[in-house]
Amino acid sequence: MSRLPAILLTIGVFFMLDLYVFQAVKTLTRASSLDTRRLVSTIYWAIPIVSLVVWIVTQFIIPADALSRNTRQLIWSALLIPYFAKFFSLFILLIDDVIRLGKWVVSFFQSQPTVSSPAPSVDTSTIPRSEFLMKSALAVAGTTVAGFTYGIISGAHDYRIRRVKIPVKNLPKAFEGIKIAQLSDIHSGSFFNKTAVQGGVDMLMAEKPDLFFFTGDLVNNTADEVKNYIDIFKKVKAPLGQFSVLGNHDYGDYYQWPSMEAKVKNLNDLKDAHRLLGWDLLLDEHRVIKVGNEQIGLLGIQNWGMGGFAKYGSLEKAHQQTDDFPVKLLLSHDPSHWNAQVTAQFKDIDVAFAGHTHGMQFGVEVGGFQWSPVQYRYKQWGGLYTEGDQHLYVNRGFGYLGYPGRVGILPEITMVELVRA
């Protein structure tokens, strides 16, 4: 019962949003026939009513285990995408209302003329400004629905290989040109197309990497989510090894466990999953990577993030006994860790690899231009960043979370080539 006020408030807010946008629909169809206006109104209101019924049925009537995670995720997306569209159109409609309010205020204070003047001529070829804004608002709403729908159908598994060369000071000659494949944020519990996931892994293996790094978030919440994908991801092999770390979602912190014992068991099961995959899970420790008679160090820590995220990892512990390595690489899930500790305290770490942000699964990347709303939260959110002789690469993620798609920021397979600076 404690959730009831929040549920009613949410429904009320959605209804007010529906009602506000409907005023624009009604205005733009006022010149149509009565039957057309009735049809448009019926279709418009049928969508939120059906959405509300589906939400009530799936949330409170159908047992939780009767629907798969993927089915529930797709249902939620179908319900929420129209409201995202209306929310974006809201801003344009507010512009129209502010303009009309301004005109009303001005007309209220203007003195009325005592002598009648000829009526001004009207240019019927020009759309009145308010009508133009209303049409723009509805166009934005339609484009948003189409874009987010396409992001599910196509963008979710439109894997892209991103290639980057990183110059490393003191890189041993034997490591010149070494190829490192990186995946991050698989979020296996969100997948709904196993064939497409297999295709992404095939793309990675076709690159023939020398090393493989996974930088966290194998699942959304529970270890069993990856069960059906073990056979796919265990095919990821590299001659110098496969290495991984944990992300914030891997600890089960966002799931309501019946007991602490159950949560601990889940984390142990997830660690076992990494072993089944053939990935060497680094828990605040380091490994030696050898090529011939030369070697570099690889450090990996548990999740450590700023902004309210858990700080499980200990870079101090992983860094112990690594002074002899001419080059040090670091796997750390959250990119906020780089400036918080790495560049501030560990100047001998040459290259860090991270993920976490997903590029918010929404944005624009054209040529050298990058924009995503996530950049207002994270200084480093996608691609290569350099400060002095230290580098950070942030992978945009292989999977998705929440919204089961991607718009503009596509799923990534990173191929890093180390070169001598």
Q: In this predicted model, what pLDDT tens digit does every residue of 110-126 receive, in sequence order?
A: 755 555 555 555 454 55
pLDDT for the residue 24: 87
The H or E element spanning position 108 is: helix 69-109
Q: Are residues 169 and 65 in the same domain?
A: no
pLDDT at residue 178, as a whole number: 98
Domain housing 204: 160-420
* Shared domain check, 375 and 268: yes
Q: Among residues of the chain, what percentage have pLDDT more than 90?
A: 71
C-alpha angle with apex 398: 342 to 203, nearest 5 degrees? 115
| Structural domain includes residue 326 | yes
Same domain, yes or no: 11 and 66: yes
Angstrom distances, CA of residue 147 to CA of 72, 80, 242, 382: 21, 13, 36, 21
pLDDT in tens, 15-67: 999 999 998 898 888 889 999 999 999 999 998 899 888 888 887 888 877 77
For the residues of 182-225, what is the DSSP string, one character each?
A: EE----GGG---HHHHHHHHHHHHHT--SEEEEES--SSS-GGG
Same domain? 90 vs 208: no
> In this structure, is residue 118 part of a structural domain?
no
Question: Residue 77 and residue 152: Cα distance in Å, rounded?
Answer: 9
pLDDT band at 1 (very low <50, low <70, confident <90, very high): very low
Shared domain check, 47 and 139:
yes
The reply to whether 48 and 191 lie within a common domain is no
| Residue 116 placed within a domain | no
CA distances from 382 to 108, 246, 354, 374 (A): 52, 19, 9, 10
Q: Which pLDDT band, with edges at 50, 70 and 90, does 72 fall under?
A: confident
pLDDT in tens, 272-291: 999 999 999 999 999 999 99
pTM of structure = 0.86
Does the residue 386 lie in any domain? Answer: yes
Q: What does the block give as tokens for 271? A: 């660690």
Can you tell me the distance from the alpha carbon of 402 to that of 405, in angstroms, rounded to the nearest whole number? 9
- pLDDT greater at residue 407 or residue 78: 407
In a shared domain, residues 129 and 167? no
**How far, CA to CA in Å, does 157 sit from each of 91, 149, 276?**
31, 13, 24
Q: Residue 381: helix, strand or coil by DSSP?
A: coil
- The reply to whether 219 and 105 lie within a common domain is no
Q: Helix or strand or coil: residue 191?
A: coil
Q: Domain tally for the chain?
A: 2
Same domain for 337 and 188?
Answer: yes
Task: Report d(CA 6, CA 380) in Å as an integer.
Answer: 35
